[in-house]
Chains A and B, each alone.
Chain A
Amino acid sequence: MDLKLFFNEAVKRGLVQLVRRKIYYIMMVVAPLLCSLFLLSLMDGGSVTRVPVGVVDLDQSSLSRNIERNLAAMQGVHIIKHYDTYASAEAAVQSGEILGFFLMPADLERSALNAESPKVSYYINYAYFSPASSQYRGFKTVSVLANGGIVKTVLDATGLVDGETVSNVLQPIASHAHALNNPWANYSYYLNASFVPCFLALFILLITSFSIGAELKYGTCREWISSAGGSMGFAIFGKMWPHTLIFTITGWTIQLIMYRIYGMPLNCNPWNMIIAMFLFVLANQAFALLMMCIVPNFRYGATLCSLFGMLSFSFCAFSIPSETLYPWINALGHIMPVRYYFLLSIDQALNGIDLYYSRVYYAALIVYPLLPLPLLGRLKHECLNPIYI
């Protein structure tokens, strides 16, 4: 009987706290949704096209103009200016006006027809990675085409081979790259599969540590425990479950936006991801709770949580393959729930393979809520014997 009363009291207190502080509305619903929409709408284009580049044509021949026309037809680059010299083009790259340029040397046509192997070169600013690869693709294709065009003319003229085999001689081996389940190499589909959940994880970590830490800071933790009848379990449950509910709904909304509005690949049974989101929210709450149990102090606990939350964007191997990272950083990445959610979403949402292969990731997410249990006593002790700073 008493148990039920205390349980109700704990839940009621948790709810009232939630609705009285503006920070909860903003950080649990508004900010995660806005951040997700920000990333998704920022990269809505999918792949980087029309990178501003320049052309330095020192030859001014029909061949060089032909090459330039081909370049202008490329999707990845957009010629915005012509430069007379290498130096002026390089200066434009330095000032950020263009991100690269294509240089055709003087006497290009004459040397080519004399078989003197002239060299065209393309200069790419590698300070910006994704436009660099768009440029590389465009420049490289144009150079290969230019060479092919000349060779084809020469071969045709010699009459050694007939027209049909000319292209086979030019390209005896053709490689076909199949980008599985993301054939457009869509940058948004790739990056947002990890960054959007990572944002949500950051908010869960911050809010969980904040709500527990605030009790410690304002010296209200004694009332917190006593309202739950001295049971740490009830106290935590009463505080946490409204968060779980709200974050899960926010998470599902984000999934809806990702998979249904922005059309990111969802090749598995949708329930696999829906359940994963619930487990993900729980796992992150548990992670923050664990941090607060280890460091039962508002400032240090919250600092630790936000440190991990911010760094997980980098050390969870979203953009660098995990095997490339230093082993100890890779290991550190594996303590974050978002790492498992990310791997799971590649397996399920992107590749749609059997659940069997993702069993470890689901299991990891399920294990997180058990981790803080042995340490709850430590937090309770700290709450009942607070040190006022």
Chain B
Amino acid sequence: MIIKNITQWFHDLAHVWVRECWLVLHEKGAIIFFFVLCAIYPLLYATIYNPEIVRDVTVVVVDDDRSQESRELCRQLDATPEVCVVAYAADMQEARRMMNEKRCYGIVHVPREYSTSLSRVEKADIDVYCDMGVLLRYKQIVTAVTNVQQHLTSEIQAAKMAAVTTAGAIIESEEVPLGNTAMGLASAVLPCILMLVLQQSMLLGIGTLHGGSRERRLANRGHDPMEVPAGVTSTVIGKALCYVFMYAIPMVYVLYLVPKFFDFPQNGRLLEVLTFTIPFLLASAMLGQVLKIFVNDRESAFIALAFTSVIFVFLTGISWPRCAMNSFWLAMGNMIPSTWAANGYISLQTGGATLRQVEINYWMLWLLVILYFVLACIVEYYLCRPRWRRMRHYAKRDAGALMREEYRRQAVDILE
């Protein structure tokens, strides 16, 4: 008896899997989300962020000193990769006007006493005013000014105190970037976005498939001719396995080939990355089967789910770090597969970690698989199936009831 039940369960599972695969391949929306979106989005994002490093932020100089020293300062500033001196302004008013007209994003003001102060061994001040509209511009201007300042300082010190110190500093210091050694913007942001693309495209695709099923029921008196009569667990697992199976190729493309195309950090071992991704895809497939409840027709998948991408991106902590989040948002982030997956993938691919070093992420993903599997079963059993039963019930009493309800919601009835 038990053995018969078990074989029946596996039989159902296989049946659901085959049918769902057929549906995916015959639903245009699902193909678009599962394959086209995965193919194009990573390329689009990578292209947008590909310039990687901000160079030559425009600044103007107000030089009230007009000395050899002040000109040297400006020359060195212009020579930095970060900024570019576009003009000399006569006074602060003129510089301010240029800034308002967006001809520059920073003003460097050298006061009248600059060279005198230097020769008198007094402190020589320079003022830098930065536009704060885009933070990276500010960062580049400050970096350039600090570097020039330090370079000039060590030159001056070398000249003045040759007797005391040999070459510049006594304790030298050096910065070593880890992982993203080029300090590029795309290399930092993209690994996270790649994981998000996988998760979000899957959620959208599952939503679309669910919407399609509901539309078939509207047209068929509450019956979906494509539905496989199977138990709740075998339906949920069968569908999830189908979605993960469908992602076999997109997964390799997005996580392995795209970083190759754009030369992002690739320190991960392919096999480990893929092993790590399996529970992530499974968790996403389960999450999709929970969130599908918010989708009523094929097209509203976009409306109901698209905006969650931005929220999920922020929850991964790529922009505002997780160490600075409050515990509520940390907990919310912990509930989303992409949080663990993106951070784990960054460690694997950018940091060159081994799978063992990110085992917390790996096991958390499996935990989420179980959590969302339970939730998906609840959604299927307590929400979806009763809803379909009600639809059949109404349709039995009045064949046109379902379509009439759709028209009522479009406000067509008020014309009658």
Q: Which residues of A contact B (CB under 8 A)?
A: 12-13, 16-17, 20-21, 23, 27, 31, 35, 38-39, 41-45, 48-52, 90-91, 93-96, 99-100, 108, 112, 115, 117-133, 136, 139-140, 143-144, 146-147, 150-151, 154-155, 158, 160-161, 165, 167-182, 185, 187, 189-191, 195, 199, 202-203, 206-207, 210, 213-215, 217-218, 220, 223, 226-227, 298-299, 302-303, 306, 309-311, 313-315, 317-321, 323-326, 329, 343, 346-347, 350-351, 353-354, 357
B80 at the interface (CB under 8 A from A): no
For chain B, the count of residues having a C-beta within 8 Å of the partner chain is 117
Contact with B48, one of A43, A123, A315 (Cβ below 8 angstroms):
A315
Q: Knowing A117-B171, A175-B149, say if A321 contacts B350 (CB, 8 Å).
A: no
**Is A23 touching B126 in the complex (CB atoms < 8 A)?**
no
Q: Knowing A35-B307, A174-B125, A303-B302, say if A120 contacts B173 (CB, 8 Å).
A: yes
Give the complex CA separation of A263 and B141 in angstroms. Answer: 26
**Is B411 touching A17 in the complex (CB atoms < 8 A)?**
yes
B249 at the interface (CB under 8 A from A): no
B394 at the interface (CB under 8 A from A): no
**Is B139 touching A133 in the complex (CB atoms < 8 A)?**
yes
**Nearest-neighbor residue (CB-CB) of B177 within chain A:** A126
**Is B134 touching A321 in the complex (CB atoms < 8 A)?**
yes
The residues of A that contact B139 with a CB separation of less than 8 Å are 133
B364 at the interface (CB under 8 A from A): no
**Nearest-neighbor residue (CB-CB) of A157 within chain B:** B164
B205 at the interface (CB under 8 A from A): no
The residues of A that contact B174 with a CB separation of less than 8 Å are 119-122
**Is A223 touching B307 in the complex (CB atoms < 8 A)?**
no
Give the complex CA separation of A191 and B318 in angstroms. Answer: 13
**Is B50 touching A326 in the complex (CB atoms < 8 A)?**
yes
B87 at the interface (CB under 8 A from A): no
B101 at the interface (CB under 8 A from A): yes
Give the complex CA separation of A177 and B309 in angstroms. Answer: 36
Contact with B171, one of A94, A147, A179 (Cβ below 8 angstroms):
A147
- Interface positions, chain B 238-284, Cβ under 8 Å from A, are 265
**Is B180 touching A126 in the complex (CB atoms < 8 A)?**
yes
**Is A118 touching B299 in the complex (CB atoms < 8 A)?**
no
Q: Knowing A147-B170, A172-B153, say if A127 contacts B132 (CB, 8 Å).
A: no
Contact with B145, one of A130, A177, A329, A350 (Cβ below 8 angstroms):
A177
**Is B138 touching A185 in the complex (CB atoms < 8 A)?**
yes
**Is B128 touching A175 in the complex (CB atoms < 8 A)?**
yes
**Is B121 touching A169 in the complex (CB atoms < 8 A)?**
yes
**Is A169 touching B160 in the complex (CB atoms < 8 A)?**
yes
16 contacts between A and B (CB under 8 A): A12-B414, A49-B324, A95-B353, A120-B174, A121-B174, A126-B188, A151-B164, A171-B123, A173-B123, A177-B142, A206-B302, A306-B302, A306-B303, A314-B45, A317-B134, A353-B100
**Nearest-neighbor residue (CB-CB) of A122 within chain B:** B175
**Is B306 touching A126 in the complex (CB atoms < 8 A)?**
no
The residues of A that contact B146 with a CB separation of less than 8 Å are 175
Binds A, one of B9-17, B375-383, B401-409: B401-409
The B interface, classified by DSSP as helix, strand, loop or mixed, is mixed
Contact with A128, one of B122, B130, B306, B317 (Cβ below 8 angstroms):
B317
**Is A51 touching B132 in the complex (CB atoms < 8 A)?**
no
**Nearest-neighbor residue (CB-CB) of A184 within chain B:** B132
Give the complex CA separation of A48 and B415 in angstroms. Answer: 58
Contact with B303, one of A160, A172, A210, A226 (Cβ below 8 angstroms):
A210
The residues of B that contact A317 with a CB separation of less than 8 Å are 134
Give the complex CA separation of A266 and B334 in angstroms. Answer: 35
Report, nearest first, the 6 A-B pairs whose CB atoms are least far apart: A143-B173, A94-B353, A346-B133, A126-B180, A17-B411, A95-B357
The residues of A that contact B170 with a CB separation of less than 8 Å are 112, 115, 117, 147, 150-151, 154
CB B180 to nearest CB in A, in angstroms, measures: 4
The residues of A that contact B318 with a CB separation of less than 8 Å are 128
The residues of B that contact A220 with a CB separation of less than 8 Å are 407, 410, 412
Contact with B132, one of A43, A100, A190, A202 (Cβ below 8 angstroms):
A190
The residues of A that contact B58 with a CB separation of less than 8 Å are 323
**Is B306 touching A181 in the complex (CB atoms < 8 A)?**
no
Q: Knowing A16-B414, A140-B173, say if A178 contacts B127 (CB, 8 Å).
A: yes
The residues of A that contact B125 with a CB separation of less than 8 Å are 173-176
Q: Knowing A127-B351, A319-B135, A324-B54, say if A20 contacts B307 (CB, 8 Å).
A: no
**Nearest-neighbor residue (CB-CB) of B183 within chain A:** A126
C-beta contact mask, B342-359 vs A, less than 8 Å → 1, else 0? Answer: 010011001111000110
The residues of A that contact B127 with a CB separation of less than 8 Å are 175-176, 178
